[in-house]
Amino acid sequence: DAGVTQSPTHLIKTRGQQVTLRCSPKSGHDTVSWYQQALGQGPQFIFQYYEEEERQRGNFPDRFSGHQFPNYSSELNVNALLLGDSALYLCASSLYGTGPYSNQPQHFGDGTRLSIL
Amino acid sequence: LAKTTQPISMDSYEGQEVNITCSHNNIATNDYITWYQQFPSQGPRFIIQGYKTKVTNEVASLFIPADRKSSTLSLPRVSLSDTAVYYCLVGDGNRDDKIIFGKGTRLHILP
């Protein structure tokens, strides 16, 4: 049973460019959440997708956008990259309405390390 | 949202029991307490969750006093491989509940 998979594992971009990160949820999960984790910090919630719609959003600018496909996989897009966008981007999957606090906690992938030069 | 406070870092030795305490003074009636573990360059991994009293699984125990304003994650007989960051989260699983990780506790196990 495959867990959460993310691609690519590493990515290098320059300021002003755009990037797309991809996530496949754990089998049986229908909800995908994205987090940004800067070095030495805890993960920061970006947004959550369910039924191909954004359901919750953290304190991130509109440069961060996402998409969920009918097979529940998801993409995170970041436009006009800034140096401060350098981070580990984590994807987590769960069953809708359960979230990280319920008896069915989120399952995380190992992330995409994004470096902005 | 209930905010959590944890020690920034802790050191311990192999074979010892480690207790990490998390303060959550504003915990709400419907809130659960959940702990995650994260190794470098990996995503967080669920360890344990509880609502009140004590919960134990194959990895850890979670102690929650009656007032629920704090909780203690207990790791029995730690090994070097338990060196990681441990996060305490508090929330009720409501779909509208913002998902917040703090900075966590960096646990360093020494030989």
Q: Do A110 and B43 touch (CB under 8 A)?
A: yes
For B73-91, how does the pLDDT look when each residue is reduced to its tens digit (9 = 90+)?
999 999 999 999 999 998 8
**Tens digit of each residue's pLDDT (9 = 90 or more) over B43-64:** 999 999 999 989 999 999 999 9
Rounded mean pLDDT of A99-103? 56
* Burial of residue A109, with CB atoms counted within 10 A of its CB: 0-12 exposed, 13-18 middle, 19 or more buried: buried
Please, what is the Cα angle at A44 between B108 and B27, to 5 degrees?
A: 80
Query: Binning pLDDT at 50, 70 and 90, where does residue A97 land?
Result: low
Chain B CB contacts of A99 below 8 Å: 91, 93-95, 97, 99
Would the CA dihedral through B56, B103, A37, B94 be positive or negative? positive
Q: Residue B41: its chain A contacts at CB < 8 A?
A: 88, 110-111, 113
